[in-house]
Amino acid sequence: MNNNDTIAPNVQASHKKGSNQVPEAIEDRSAGDIEANARPTTTISDNPKILSLTKQVFITITLALTTVLTSSGAQVLFIALPTIEKDLKVNEGELQWIVVSYNLAVGCLLLVSGRIADIYGRKKLLIAGMVILTIFNFIGGFMKNGSALIVTRALAGCGVALTTPSTTGIIAELFEGKARSRVFTIYAAGYSLGGILGLVIGGLFVSYVRHTWRSALFFITGLGLLGTIMAIFIIPSDGTHTKDKHVDWPGAILSTVGLVFFSFAISGAQSAPEGWKTDYILALLVIGVFLIIAFFFWEHHVATKTPHSPMMRLALWTRAKGRLAVLYLTGFLAMMGFIPALYNSTLFFQNVQSTGTVGAMLRFLPTEISGVICTILVILLIHRVPAYQLLVLGLLATGFGNMCFALSEENTNYWKLPFHGMWLIVFGCDLYQPTGLIFVSKFSYSDEYSVAGGLFQTMLRLGNSVGLALSSIMFNSIYQQNLHKGLEDKIAYLKGLQASFWLSAGGCWFGVFIASFALKSLGTVGKDQEDKEKENDKAQNPVQNQNQEENIKSRAEE
């Protein structure tokens, strides 16, 4: 293992004592980064200890298990949606909320929990999140109606919101260089492995176990208990990562309430009495947008007019000459194409092609195998090819995967189109997650690792919620139109699903256009930094470098 692969549990090497240097590529930032409180305020020792290889492996496994848990916990109910619909007698709108509530809770709390993790300790928040997630997965298995299940899913999502920024912060804090890239990639691979587990458990339990989806949630509860115990004993303890322990509560309230109102409005419009014309939907949408805008103004005020640090530095949007903001946007579009595709493909297989639960489960397996392949690709290529090429590949593949489903009919053979749709749609998510997290940590200070990761994950989760909402709008519109034309219910249903798939494909291809131009100069992980370190070393040690060059020259002459 070389020096770039060692673990630095507290602070990156560039944070040297008495220096105001910043980690890796932050020196390439816009003027918007020069804020009153935009400097690193880490309080951690400048002499981090080195952890053993065994410790590194166990930490990586533990952190990956958290993503397995969160992914399987969500996916286990995807395959069971038709069963839940019949068991709890819920309508289409409530059925969607079983999925949306989980993502909504996660997306709305990531920023706040990220800041709290940076202040009070990432391990503490990780364990708290695992406990909450485990408890409400368990309670959810006892719910007797759709509304109660939705509430428990939302509360379980709150647990995920605590774990996600904590784990990304822990990885960025403990690992450096290529080791960090590998761990982020393995961490993101947990989503694919969790997806496989969720699909298999969901399908088998729904088909062969007495309490069907309830027993599946109990199984996920056991997995959560295991993850909690591992986190307690394996993850190194940490303290505060900033001298400023002030929590920007006004900013936290503005961002959280704004995101809740906005997400609730777009997700609940279809099940509202008058759709988008419903008074409370319009009110929540307008207020939500207003609060989000107010949040940005408030963060600027805190950063420039007060002695405290904001909850989110606005520079997290402007660094790398604005490329970070583009990374967030294209990640948003990638998830708009991924999660709705999973949701709609479940309905396509079970309600259109009548495959049954186990049949649908088996048809989903290529997505998870493809996810593992994506993980291997990222590990092999992230330090060799420009990042934008991986991102464009992911968006293209997810778009074409949606197109395969959009062209599928009721009697279309699985191997002709749906199979290709299944293995392609996962690329956008599984290439974007690790690549995005690696670059976000590259452009972040050590005292904001969790909030930076939380911001990136917030945009991905919003992509989930917005994508599902827009997909539902498209489905219902086309479905009703075709019913009015006199088409059979199943055919009209299929037309609605096809339109939703086309919408998701269009979003991904729009992301391809943006990424191809705006992210082309993002660079290759590690390569630019190695060149920069050589230049800095040469500038700081001119005499030594001159002597080295003379020695090399003399040896060459000999």
Instruction: At 436, list the tokens.
Output: 């995005």
* pLDDT at residue 558, as a whole number: 39
Q: What is the pLDDT of residues 242-254, one digit of tens each?
A: 666 778 889 999 9
Topology adopted by domain 50-236+311-525: Growth Hormone; Chain: A; (1.20.1250)
* pLDDT at residue 244, as a whole number: 65
pLDDT of residue 202 exceeding 70, the answer is yes
pLDDT of residue 8 exceeding 50, the answer is no
| Residue 505 φ then ψ, to 5° | -65, -45
Q: What is the C-alpha separation between 436 and 323, in angstroms, rounded? A: 11
Query: How many CB atoms neighbour CB 160 within 10 A?
Result: 29
Query: How many CB atoms neighbour CB 120 within 10 A?
Result: 17
* pLDDT at residue 419, as a whole number: 96
The string of DSSP codes covering 443-483 is: TS-GGGHHHHHHHHHHHHHHHHHHHHHHHHHHHHHHHHHHH
pLDDT of residue 397 exceeding 90, the answer is yes
**Arithmetic mean of pLDDT over the chain:** 81
H helical segments located in 209-278? 212-234, 249-268
Q: Write down the pTM of the prediction.
A: 0.78
Place of tokens 């991905």: 460
* pLDDT at residue 151, as a whole number: 92
Strand partners, 175: 7
Q: What is the C-alpha separation between 394 and 374, in angstroms, rounded? A: 9
Query: How many CB atoms neighbour CB 495 within 10 A?
Result: 18
CA 557 to chain centre: 56
Band (pLDDT 50/70/90 cuts) for residue 396 is very high
Q: What is the pLDDT of residues 331-379, one digit of tens each?
A: 999 999 998 998 899 889 989 999 987 888 889 889 878 888 888 888 8
Please tell me the number of Cα atoms within 13 Å of 545 on its side-chain side.
9
Q: What is the pLDDT of residues 321-339, one digit of tens each?
A: 888 899 999 999 999 999 8
Q: What is the C-alpha separation between 194 and 190, in angstroms, rounded? A: 6
Q: What is the pLDDT of residues 93-119, one digit of tens each?
A: 677 788 778 878 888 888 899 888 888
* pLDDT at residue 242, as a whole number: 64
